[in-house]
Amino acid sequence: MTRIHGNSRGKSQSMKPSTMKSDWVKLTPEQIGKLVVEMNKEGLNASQIGIKLRDEHAISSIKSVTGKNMKQFIQNHLKSNKGDRKNVRSLELLEAKVHRLSKYYKKKNVIPKNWKYKAVIAQLS
């Protein structure tokens, strides 16, 4: 996660490699999705879930294995489980980050001024 008031990704400015091969992962994308939802129900945030998946299940990147990010798993889970308030809150926090970034990028003229975040369109990409 990047710093809110800076241009770097922490002190080392490290970035993930562009492509990550995950041939050693034995879990299917569906099993990984269930693990993400279960850990989120336990109250773990996204970085804690990533660390736990990396250390316990040898999954270096969820997106490289499943093609989806954590937010998409949470959205799919909420469609079938509308009463899951913990995940609703975590989705709201993720969307707040998107809105903060979009406000900044609109101000810097990186994205069009009339750009608007839509969960349905984000889920398709």
pLDDT above 60 for 117: yes
Closest CA to 75 of 84, 66, 63: 84
Over residues 95-121, mean pLDDT:
87
pLDDT above 60 for 18: no
Most confident of 29-38, 47-56, 87-96, 101-110: 101-110
Confidence bin at 113 (pLDDT 50/70/90): very high
Query: E strands within 37-117?
Result: none
Residue 17 main-chain phi, psi, to 5 deg: -60, 150
Q: What is the pLDDT of residue 2?
A: 57
pLDDT above 80 for 5: no
Tokens 């499943």 belong to which residue? Answer: 66
In angstroms, the CA 60 to CA 103 distance is 31
Q: Answer whether 33's CB lies under 8 Å from 66's CB.
A: yes
Residue 120 contacts by C-beta under 8 Å, 6 or more apart in sequence?
A: none
Higher pLDDT, residue 5 or 108: 108
Q: Looking at the whole model, is its pTM more than 0.85?
A: no
Residue 64 main-chain phi, psi, to 5 deg: -70, -30
Q: Which helix (H) or strand (E) holds 23?
A: none
The two three-digit tokens of residue 26, written as one number: 């034995």
Confidence bin at 125 (pLDDT 50/70/90): very low
AA letter at 28: T
Q: What is the pLDDT of residue 45?
A: 81
Q: What is the pLDDT of residue 112?
A: 93
